Structure 1
């Protein structure tokens, strides 16, 4: 069964005010077939910046593209967030993300054009910034972000892929898409052309939300019902990540598998001595 894709209004975080705590954990695995790992996943607790990239290209070009994307965006976006602090305005985060991704795209594209071994290399991308009770989320390609709220798992990114376009056009059903041979044909990638459109949306975060960023090495191998069941377990984030990776390998492990989990909880605000005395 294909998951519901929820794209929230771009302005939903403009009045964000709740302070949130976030717990992060990431894991990447080469899978059972491939000898190298072209996925890169990273996060920064201090800036609440998360990045996942799934590289593509001949030789080691996929590794190069994903590493360049993650390194560049982590450095540039991380620097901007550090200077701005934990309470940036959503419009500022969106603009900074667009600029950083645009610059990363140019770097990868130029490297591919200047080195024949890297010609045509590119990478998918999911990049998110958690600020207060808002997630600013950008993506390119078919790497995904899911949100588990209560017992409802929702895909909050929409694949940039030929298969998704066929589904949207009514040429194929979501059920038939699960076994289609076109699953890995992306229509948008970072670094392949001199310009790329980053799709950005803002999402309101609620206490208890659990977010999953993943490469298609997970989503192609494990049905959403199984992903939901694992994410709803009472284990730690580390154990959930291990179970997700193991599920993909048990199903064949045909690709690299990367997962990044983020758990949100509302921060307890400290009250002054006078407020406590007055019961406020």
Structure 2
């Protein structure tokens, strides 16, 4: 099995506003996580619109980076238009971390504070940067990781889909090796488990399904303060 994905609302939230994708389409493997927020019913709709746009988009391997940016820009427009038409959706937005894999090359488009990681040779590496206020403080060495955990502005995003008319998308490409794992997850996981704890789970001999289930179980054990979504992709 190439990928396993699961999502739960956690122990505190009333509903799950995370959405994910893990599918094969036109010779592309596509994985994504969107973490919605804002409005009375908006977060759920924003993340759904982002995922639906990716599902409907036809990627072209000759211009994959351009396609990923276009796809995310269209998702931004979808969400923005909906929020203007529906009063209950005003102010809604979503993170989006999207990975498109073809011929062992993964190209990632990213906006927000969901994350993509590479697990290779028993080592976990974070591939994306958090577009959050706390993420900025960390990068500037104003605070450390321990201070970031309980920072009062931890949930303040500097970039997301659906808020502005245009979006700035981080893009990166990586050649995968056999047995590499790509993990894409919402902050409901990474706010509860450290990178070291995630690395330990991925290092185990258990199958992908058990790894995903264990991460979600432990995030709930630690408090489950947010929706928790985990997608793991295994390279051939």
TM-score bracket, shorter-length normalisation: over 0.9
Could you tell me which runs of 5 or more consecutive residues in structure 2 were left unpaired when the two chains were aligned: none
Q: Does residue 67 of structure 2 align to residue 114 of structure 1?
A: no
Distance in structure 2 (CA, Å) of the matches to 1:43 and 1:74: 10
Match of 1:169 in 2: 140
Kindly state the Cα deviation for residue 130 of structure 1 after the two structures are TM-superposed. 0.8
The worse-fitting range, judged by mean Cα deviation, of 100-109 and 248-257 is: 100-109
Q: Which residue of 2 aligns with 1:27?
A: 6
For residue 177 of structure 1, report the CA deviation from its aligned partner. Answer: 1.4
Query: Would you identify which runs of 4 or more consecutive aligned residues in structure 1 move more than 3 Å?
Result: none
Matched with 1:274 is none
Q: Which of 10, 29, 40 lines up with 1:48 in the alignment? A: 29
Match of 1:143 in 2: 114
Between the aligned partners of 1:250 and 1:237, the Cα distance in structure 2 is 20
Alignment root-mean-square deviation, CA: 1.2
- Deviation at residue 73 of structure 1 after TM alignment: 1.6
Shift of 1:170: 2.3
What do the CA deviations read for 1:138-182 (whole angstroms, capped 9, x no partner)?
110000011110111000000000001111222112232123222
Q: Which residue in 1 is equivalent to 2:204?
A: 233
Give the structure 1 partner of residue 98 of structure 2. Answer: 127
TM-score scaled by length of structure 1: 0.81
- TM-score under structure 2 normalisation? 0.96
Within 5 Å, which residues of 2 pair with 1:1-280? Answer: 23-46=2-25, 47-76=28-57, 80-81=58-59, 84=60, 88-89=61-62, 92-265=63-236
Runs of 5+ in structure 1 lacking a partner? Answer: 1-21, 266-280
In structure 1, distance between residues paired with 2:184 and 2:55: 16
Displacement after TM superposition at 1:242 (Å): 0.2
Contact 1:137 1:202 in 2 (8 A): yes
Secondary structure of the structure 2 residue equivalent to 1:45: strand
Partner of 1:9: none
User: Deviation digits for residues 30-61 of structure 1, max 9, x if unmatched?
Assistant: 10011200000112124201121000012111
